[in-house]
């Protein structure tokens, strides 16, 4: 069964450094998402992306965050200057159609640890 | 915007018993309700979903019921097995943009004791 893949599985970074989290969505999916989950808490929406532009972003997704689809298969999340509170699991998801018509499928996440 | 409440936060059952997890939502326009299972170190895995034009959907030992009037939906797991132990999340869509996104409940940690 096709799946969303994310790399790396664990990223350790010094505070203030830039990180790029990578995702390969399911190949025929057109809608992409990033969510995060702070340890022991619920999954929170960060940003949605379609047709090479952001559809919506949450208040968490401030100017330090950006997303990009650099080629036909990858979808990346960049955090420009990391803060301690950015430590969390980051999940990429994709769907064939928008949220009212098709399910979102999640990758296994990247654990981001900011020191 | 959408708000999703989920209960209970923890649930412990004996193997073979049934488990029920309940969620309420606030936006009456919501029309799609997925349930996800998250095992340790993994991402949320979709296990079942329901759309607002049906009241119940079953898939083997898993069922979801939806009451649109009361704005709540429930996950039912029958004949529970130890491998059902995980954190379960309900979700509902929020349409701030064109494609929507999911608002998750806080999760239920299900423990099935052999």
Q: Which of A26-30, A97-101, B108-112 comes out lowest in average pLDDT?
A: A97-101
Considering only alpha carbons, which residue of chain A is nearest residue B29? A100
> Cα distance from A98 to chain B (closest Cα, Å)?
5
Chain B environment of A45 (Cβ under 8 Å): 94, 101-103
Per residue of chain B (114 residues), give pLDDT as tens.
Answer: 788 999 999 999 999 999 999 999 998 888 889 999 999 989 999 999 998 877 999 999 999 999 999 999 999 999 999 999 999 999 998 876 667 789 999 999 999 999
Question: What is the C-alpha to C-alpha distance for residues B83 and B103, in angstroms, rounded to an integer?
Answer: 26
Q: Which secondary structure element, helix H or strand E, spans residue A88, and what is its range?
A: strand A88-95
The greatest distance separating any two alpha carbons of chain B, rounded to the nearest whole angstrom, comes to 46
Block residue for tokens 């296994």:
A108
Question: Cα–chain-centroid distance for residue A68?
Answer: 10
Which residues have a Cβ under 8 Å from the Cβ of B102 and sit 6 or more positions away?
A: A33, A35, A43, A45, A99, A104, B34, B91, B92, B93, B94
The answer to whether residues B34 and B52 touch, using CB atoms and an 8 Å cutoff, is no
Instruction: Determine the residue among A61, A90, A104 to mutate to test chain B binding: the one whose Cβ has the most chain B Cβ atoms within 10 Å.
Output: A104
> A33, B94: Cβ pair inside 8 Å?
no
> Cα distance from B63 to chain A (closest Cα, Å)?
17
């Amino acid at each position: 069964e096709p799946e969303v893949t994310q790399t790396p599985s664990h990223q350790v970074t010094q505070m203030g450094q830039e990180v790029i989290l990578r995702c390969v969505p399911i190949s025929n999916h057109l809608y992409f998402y990033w969510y995060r989950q702070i340890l022991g808490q619920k999954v929170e929406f960060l940003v949605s992306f379609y047709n090479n532009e952001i559809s919506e972003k949450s208040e968490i997704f401030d100017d330090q965050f950006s997303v990009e689809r650099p080629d036909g298969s990858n979808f990346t999340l960049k955090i420009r200057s990391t803060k301690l509170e950015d430590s969390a699991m980051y999940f990429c998801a994709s769907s064939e159609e928008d949220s009212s018509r098709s399910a979102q499928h999640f990758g296994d996440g990247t654990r981001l640890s900011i020191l | 915007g959408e708000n999703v409440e989920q209960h209970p936060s923890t649930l412990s059952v004996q193997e073979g018993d049934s488990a029920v997890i309940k969620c309420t939502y606030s936006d009456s326009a919501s029309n799609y309700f997925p349930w996800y299972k998250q095992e340790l170190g993994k991402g949320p895995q979709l296990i079942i979903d329901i759309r607002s034009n049906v009241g119940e959907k079953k898939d083997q030992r898993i069922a979801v019921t939806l009451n649109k009037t009361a704005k709540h939906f429930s996950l039912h797991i029958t004949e529970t097995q130890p491998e059902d132990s995980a954190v379960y999340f309900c979700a509902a869509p929020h349409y701030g943009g064109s494609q929507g996104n999911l608002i998750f409940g806080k999760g239920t940690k299900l423990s099935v004791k052999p």
